[in-house]
């Protein structure tokens, strides 16, 4: 009886919650209701729906069309994207009565601009993948092949390219004849894998799950439409968003102008990466596309995480990705506010994927050790040289090193990486011990953030009068809880400390070049100076103003 | 007023509350029908009812709130011309009245300015509903806030203790959040959620069904929140309790989470703990800035997808039915988002013409080879290219920038441009140099030659004291009839005067089109 009443309350609560949030969101965002009233593209949507159904039938339902399988690949998807762009364009011009702007020549120019930029961006990805594969294959023994591995390769490759560009910029040789060879070099050094990548992403038929159905295809189709729309919209001569014009696209522009580093600012790894579009190809469109690329790569890695680690099927994966990419805040950063947050997201998701893989192997190694087997393969460094007594394995440290390096790279994109750094640190202890260890590390890490006054960055610290006491109570509580949790297994605890140290150490390595640059500028060793350097911008010093006035 | 408030709270008396007694008695009768050893499972429900009854009475006794004084906008688009184009108020403003704080104005606006604990507790709600700052760039949709608590709760189907605690926590957070929310009228205006009764009296259901329905829900939820009188006694703009309170809630949440995921595999356990930790750090440190939390939004989305997948395969019919609902809601979200995408997001004013803009015509013409770069820029910002060419004719003179997006177009802008979007620097200067001539001369003597002004600088100001708006007034006052500065270009249009038939460019006067920027030169 009691349980029934409880369940009744629970169902009532759930219904109330759903209805209220929906209604409140709807009334707080009148723009949705307005835009439904003003919506004028019913015919475009119906045509898209028709295209969707037609292509679905051709691809998946009619067996006699199996011959068409030759376009069920990367190139086929690209052609579909081009078709969707043209379709949307014609409907737009028809709706705005501006079809007169079209001519044979202009359409050719339009398509060539899209294709050229796509090819340039593909080249950068190809190069990044080749670098990543070259490096990781050398130090890791891969047994998996799949989208997560490819994405981690690309992230690693981007990191390598960015740091090579950093050193070129440091010596004021950020020029096309330096950057282009940097991009082409790995394609030559790693030509076999580069060709493999080229084949896989263009003509190799896509692996499609037998469970893939119209629901999944609908989500994929909508995603492709959104991605295409976003891409074509950024192919302009300048960025249009506030933050991109004032900072994130401005920095690449300055890097291109100076052919060297820009003084001051927080580390700008992704802006440096964006600048390659200007430096290597003189193309603002490509520079902006690199910002857009962060979102696309994030979709790929999210797909990989869901498929490989959460074991979801493709239909729900594409559906979830579509719900994410539909978010206006994310969409806006994909075609208007071209910033670095989606690049940061990609880097952090790669770190998370490596962490999940580490966790998988940690589990597998435990099982293997229990069975006295020592042959687990995978995303591991020099194969796991696990010792039978269950002590530290060199193999799995490679994951931690890579996590550290990629996290450090992400830290060079934005300092908010620290949120995920500390949450992952706690996650490592959760895997080694249990939730109490997680809590202990997390509380201690949070306390450390308060002790170094990270809450002052957003100006919030001043509101908390008890913070001086709270931070130390938390720190002692966290450390105490951790010590109490690990007291019976000191070997594992030492391993945990070692892994945490490794993660932290390699986290700081990618930051060192930036810290050095900032130190050279500021000539100070304070935290602020190391993080921000010293800008060259004018300073309003009233005494100087007075002095100049009285000259 | 404050005394009145205290007197009223002193009258707060639990036993006098007839409305509160009924649910409590009902609950006690219900509890005694259960076996004694199960009592503890229902304790949270009892607490909830006690709390409600306490609060219903507390609300009865609350003093009416003083309406917040609104400061008129300086240069708002829709106000009558005399206000829209300020001949700025000539009366001398004491500069020390303008409390400057760039961080407070620029960053903390995402978080809101309510009483401190509510500022944090309401962040998940505010981030979803965009009650503090609105616009597509902060809109993350409703799915995460709507579905994650429900999916969490479904896991407590057989755990009444944890389920009840979770429901109470949700109600507490939600009711605290809506206290500082707003209700939209049919004409788009907002009123404070504390004026629900007035709203319901003046708005017909047919005029604004979602608003009226939400308003009834606000009324229903209001008893669950902590009374302002209690909050004001223990907190304010600064306090000792918010961090301990948030940490306490984190621990409670962590405990509930462990109960919820105990039967999950290690990967899901770790993932959920990681996301929970990340969310907490974002809540405490990110001041509500949406894009600092993209990782939790992305991982939240794929975990929702994973839940859809698992519920789809579930043998429990309730979960499968619930899943149809979830997928329906998510499909609705996708539908409205795709429609929203066709308007290009950027157009805040919704017109038939704006609703057609899947593409930007100027950018499209550039892509088709009809426009060159300068023509494209001029299409967005009329006549600005000429002004920028002038600024870029040499690269030694300095530029004073108050907002605007023209940084990108100025050569060596990292060395030449002084950023003062929140006008803190200007405020210091205005304090020091008492008249505009002297101030202009000082800037000119130090190499400043141009001023870039965003004419909508003040609209981001959400501070209770309207500090940015006041500073912007001061700045406009500096520009107004200043003999040492000359307007080069603006996209603000003034109504024709005298024999003119065409509108003219100008900042001060009878505004026809409000525009967004102005570029001045010192002379």
Confirm or reject contact between A17 and chain B (CB < 8 A): yes
Report pLDDT digits (tens) over B253-293. 999 999 999 999 999 999 999 999 999 999 999 989 999 99
- Put simply, the answer to whether A236 touches B376 (Cβ < 8 Å) is yes
Tell me the average pLDDT across B399-416: 93
- Put simply, the answer to whether B238 touches A327 (Cβ < 8 Å) is no
* pLDDT, position A393: 41
* pLDDT, position A65: 60
Sheet of strand B504-505, all strands in order from the earlier edge strand to the far edge: B504-505, B493-494, B511-513
Instruction: Show the CA angle centred on residue B215, arms to residues B209 and B216, nearest 5°.
Output: 95
- Put simply, the answer to whether B414 touches A89 (Cβ < 8 Å) is no
Set of chain A residues whose Cβ sits within 8 Å of the Cβ of B364? 89, 101
* pLDDT, position A376: 38
Give the pTM.
Answer: 0.88
Q: How confident is the model at residue B78 (pLDDT cuts 50, 70, 90)?
A: very low
Confirm or reject contact between A300 and chain B (CB < 8 A): no
Restricting to B residues 340-379, those with a Cβ less than 8 Å away from any Cβ of A are 340-346, 348, 350-352, 354-356, 358-370, 372-373, 376-377
* Least confident interval from A207-211, A213-217, A449-453, B303-307: A207-211
Percentage of chain B exceeding pLDDT 70: 79
Set of chain A residues whose Cβ sits within 8 Å of the Cβ of B164? 6, 9
* Least confident interval from A106-115, A179-188, B16-25: B16-25
Report pLDDT digits (tens) over B146-164. 999 999 999 998 899 999 9
Tell me the average pLDDT across A389-409: 75
- Top-confidence residue, A458 or B84: A458
Q: Is the pLDDT of residue B497 over 70?
A: yes
Quote the ipTM score. 0.92
Q: Is the pLDDT of residue A32 over 50?
A: yes
Percentage of chain B exceeding pLDDT 90: 49
Confirm or reject contact between B96 and chain A (CB < 8 A): no
For the ranges A179-193, B48-62, B233-247, the maximum mean pLDDT occurs at: A179-193
> What is the token pair recorded at A150?
């490819």
* pLDDT, position B7: 32
Report pLDDT digits (tens) over A58-99. 877 776 666 666 677 899 899 999 999 999 999 999 999 998
Residue in A401, A418, A428 with CA at minimum distance from that of residue B295: A418
For residue A210, give the H/E element and its range: none
* pLDDT, position B347: 61
Confirm or reject contact between A456 and chain B (CB < 8 A): no
* pLDDT, position A1: 75
- Put simply, the answer to whether A419 touches B380 (Cβ < 8 Å) is no
Set of chain A residues whose Cβ sits within 8 Å of the Cβ of B355? 35, 38-40
The alpha-carbon gap from A458 to the nearest alpha carbon of chain B, in Å, equals: 6
Q: What sign for the dihedral angle of Cα B30, B32, B33, B36?
A: positive
Tell me the average pLDDT across A19-41: 91
Instruction: Show the CA angle centred on residue B102, arms to residues B426 and B408, nearest 5°.
Output: 75
For B370, the closest of A101, A253, A549 (CB atoms) is: A101
For B240, the closest of A102, A253, A465 (CB atoms) is: A465
Tell me the average pLDDT across A424-435: 94
Which of B298, B385, B432, B442 should we substitute to test contact with A (largest number of A Cβ atoms within 10 Å)?
Answer: B298
Confirm or reject contact between B205 and chain A (CB < 8 A): no
For B140, the closest of A327, A360, A542 (CB atoms) is: A327
- Top-confidence residue, A208 or A548: A548
* pLDDT, position B69: 32
> What is the token pair recorded at A276?
């390659």
Tell me the average pLDDT across B200-221: 88
* pLDDT, position A316: 95
Backbone phi and psi for residue A121, each to the nearest 5 degrees, phi listed first: -70, -35
* Least confident interval from B27-31, B290-294, B344-348, B436-440: B27-31
Q: Is the pLDDT of residue B34 over 80?
A: no
Set of chain B residues whose Cβ sits within 8 Å of the Cβ of A359? 266-267, 270
Minimum Cα–Cα distance from A319: chain B residue: B305
Strands B182-184 and B190-192: antiparallel
Q: Is the pLDDT of residue A457 over 90?
A: no
Set of chain A residues whose Cβ sits within 8 Å of the Cβ of B409? 238
Restricting to B residues 463-482, those with a Cβ less than 8 Å away from any Cβ of A are none
Q: Average pLDDT of chain A? A: 89
Sheet of strand B517-522, all strands in order from the earlier edge strand to the far edge: B417-419, B398-402, B448-454, B517-522, B485-490
For A236, the closest of B280, B339, B366 (CB atoms) is: B366
Tell me the average pLDDT across A133-156: 82
Confirm or reject contact between B419 and chain A (CB < 8 A): yes
Report pLDDT digits (tens) over B505-521. 999 999 998 898 999 99
* pLDDT, position A145: 63
For B341, the closest of A34, A229, A424 (CB atoms) is: A229
Secondary structure in 3-state letters for A17-56: HHHHHHHHHHHHCHHHHHHHHHCCCHHHHHHHHHHHHHHH
Tell me the average pLDDT across A273-286: 96
Report pLDDT digits (tens) over B321-330. 889 999 999 9
Q: Is the pLDDT of residue B87 over 70?
A: no
In whole angstroms, give the CA distance from residue A393 to residue A377: 13
Is the distance from CB of B367 to CB of A109 less than 8 angstroms?
Answer: yes
- Put simply, the answer to whether A305 touches B302 (Cβ < 8 Å) is yes
* pLDDT, position A109: 93
Q: Is the pLDDT of residue B99 over 80?
A: no
Residue in B365, B462, B372 with CA at minimum distance from that of residue B422: B462
Domain boundaries, chain A: 44-99+106-352, 385-532
């Amino acid at each position: 009886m009691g349980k029934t009443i409880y369940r009744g309350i629970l169902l009532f609560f759930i219904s109330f919650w759903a209805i209220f949030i929906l209604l409140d969101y709807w009334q707080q965002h009148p723009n949705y209701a307005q835009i439904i009233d003003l919506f004028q593209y019913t015919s475009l949507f119906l045509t898209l729906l028709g295209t969707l159904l037609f292509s679905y039938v051709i691809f998946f339902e009619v067996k006699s069309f199996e011959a068409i399988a030759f376009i069920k690949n990367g190139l086929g998807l690209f052609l579909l994207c081009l078709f969707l762009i043209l379709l949307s364009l014609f409907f737009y011009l028809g709706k705005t009565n501006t079809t007169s702007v079209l001519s044979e020549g202009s359409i050719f120019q339009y398509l060539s601009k899209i294709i050229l930029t796509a090819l340039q961006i593909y080249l950068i990805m190809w190069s990044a993948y080749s670098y990543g594969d070259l490096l990781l294959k050398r130090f890791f023994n891969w047994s998996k092949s799949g989208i997560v591995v490819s994405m981690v390769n690309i992230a690693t490759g981007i990191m390598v390219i960015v740091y090579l560009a950093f050193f070129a910029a440091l010596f004021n040789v950020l020029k096309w004849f330096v950057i282009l060879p940097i991009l082409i070099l790995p394609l030559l050094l790693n030509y076999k894998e580069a060709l493999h990548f080229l084949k896989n992403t263009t003509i190799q038929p896509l692996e499609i799950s037998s469970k893939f159905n119209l629901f999944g295809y609908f989500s994929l189709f909508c995603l492709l439409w959104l991605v295409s729309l976003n891409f074509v919209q950024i192919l302009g001569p300048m960025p249009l968003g506030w933050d991109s014009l004032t900072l994130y696209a401005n920095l690449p522009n300055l890097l291109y102008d100076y052919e060297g580093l820009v003084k001051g600012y927080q580390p700008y790894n992704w802006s440096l990466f964006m600048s390659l579009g200007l430096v290597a190809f003189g193309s603002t469109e490509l520079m902006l596309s690199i910002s857009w690329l962060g979102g696309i790569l994030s979709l790929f890695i999210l797909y990989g995480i869901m498929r490989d680690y959460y074991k979801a099927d493709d239909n729900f994966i594409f559906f979830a990705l579509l719900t994410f990419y539909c978010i206006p805040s994310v969409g806006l950063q994909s075609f208007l506010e071209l910033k670095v947050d989606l690049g940061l997201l990609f880097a952090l998701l790669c770190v998370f994927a490596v962490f999940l893989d580490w966790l998988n192997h940690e589990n597998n190694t435990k099982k293997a050790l229990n069975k006295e087997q020592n042959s687990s393969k995978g995303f591991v460094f020099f194969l796991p040289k696990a010792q039978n007594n269950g002590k530290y394995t060199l193999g799995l440290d490679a994951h931690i090193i890579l996590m550290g390096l990629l996290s450090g790279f992400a830290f060079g994109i934005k300092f908010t990486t620290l949120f995920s750094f500390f949450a992952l640190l706690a996650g490592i202890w959760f895997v080694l011990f249990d939730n109490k260890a997680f809590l202990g590390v997390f509380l201690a890490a949070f306390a450390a953030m308060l002790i170094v006054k990270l809450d002052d960055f957003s100006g919030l610290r001043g509101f908390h009068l008890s913070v001086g006491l709270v931070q130390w109570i938390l720190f002692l509580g966290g450390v105490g809880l951790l010590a109490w949790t690990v007291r019976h297994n000191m070997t594992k605890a030492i391993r945990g400390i070692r892994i945490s140290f490794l993660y932290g150490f390699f986290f700081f390595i990618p930051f060192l070049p930036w810290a050095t640059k900032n130190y050279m500028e500021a000539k100070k060793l304070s935290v602020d100076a190391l993080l921000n350097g010293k800008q060259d911008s004018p300073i309003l010093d009233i005494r100087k103003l007075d002095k100049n006035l009285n000259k | 007023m404050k005394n009145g408030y205290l007197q009223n709270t002193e009258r707060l008396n639990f036993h006098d509350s007839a409305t509160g007694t009924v649910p409590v008695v009902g609950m006690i009768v219900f509890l005694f029908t259960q076996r004694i050893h199960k009592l503890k499972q229902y304790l949270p429900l009892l607490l909830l009812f006690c709390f409600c009854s306490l609060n219903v009475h507390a609300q009865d006794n609350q003093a009416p709130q003083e309406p917040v004084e609104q400061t008129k906008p300086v240069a708002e688009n829709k106000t009558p011309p005399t206000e829209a184009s300020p001949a700025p108020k000539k009366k001398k403003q004491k500069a020390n009245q303008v409390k400057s704080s760039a961080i407070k104005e620029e960053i903390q606006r995402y978080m809101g300015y309510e009483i401190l604990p509510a500022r944090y507790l309401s962040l998940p709600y505010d981030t979803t509903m965009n009650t503090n700052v609105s616009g597509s760039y902060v809109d993350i949709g409703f799915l995460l806030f709507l579905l994650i608590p429900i999916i969490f709760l479904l896991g407590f189907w057989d755990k009444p203790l944890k389920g009840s605690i979770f429901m109470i926590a949700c109600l507490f957070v939600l009711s605290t959040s809506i206290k500082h929310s707003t209700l939209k009228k049919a004409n788009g205006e907002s009123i404070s959620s504390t004026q629900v009764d007035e709203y319901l009296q003046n708005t017909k259901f047919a005029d604004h069904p979602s608003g009226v329905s939400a308003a009834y829900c606000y009324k229903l939820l209001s008893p669950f929140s902590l009374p302002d009188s209690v909050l004001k006694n223990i907190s304010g703009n600064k306090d000792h309790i918010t961090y301990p309170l948030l940490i306490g809630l984190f621990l409670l949440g962590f405990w509930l989470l462990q109960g919820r995921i105990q039967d999950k595999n290690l990967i899901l356990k770790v993932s959920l703990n990681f996301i929970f930790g990340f969310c907490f750090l974002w809540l405490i440190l990110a001041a509500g800035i949406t894009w600092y939390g993209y990782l939790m939004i992305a991982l939240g989305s794929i975990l929702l997808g994973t839940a859809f997948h698992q519920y789809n395969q579930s043998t429990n019919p309730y979960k499968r039915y619930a899943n149809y609902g979830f997928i329906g809601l998510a499909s609705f979200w996708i539908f409205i988002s795709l429609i929203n995408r066709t308007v290009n997001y950027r157009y805040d004013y919704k017109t038939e013409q704006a609703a057609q803009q899947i593409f930007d015509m100027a950018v499209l013409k550039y892509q088709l080879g009809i426009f060159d770069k300068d023509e494209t820029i001029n299409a967005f910002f009329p006549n600005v290219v000429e002004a920028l060419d002038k600024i870029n004719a040499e690269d030694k003179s300095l530029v004073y920038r108050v907002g605007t997006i023209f940084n990108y177009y100025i050569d060596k802008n990292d060395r030449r441009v002084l950023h003062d979007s929140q006008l803190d620097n200007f405020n210091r200067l205005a304090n020091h140099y008492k008249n505009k001539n002297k101030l202009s001369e000082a800037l000119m003597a130090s190499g400043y030659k141009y001023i870039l002004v965003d004419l909508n600088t003040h609209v981001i100001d959400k501070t209770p004291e309207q500090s940015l708006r006041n500073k912007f007034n001061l700045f406009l006052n500096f520009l107004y009839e200043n003999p040492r500065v000359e307007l080069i270009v603006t996209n603000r249009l003034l109504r024709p005067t005298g024999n003119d038939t065409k509108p003219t460019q100008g900042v001060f006067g009878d505004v026809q089109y409000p525009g967004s920027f102005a570029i001045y030169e010192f002379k």
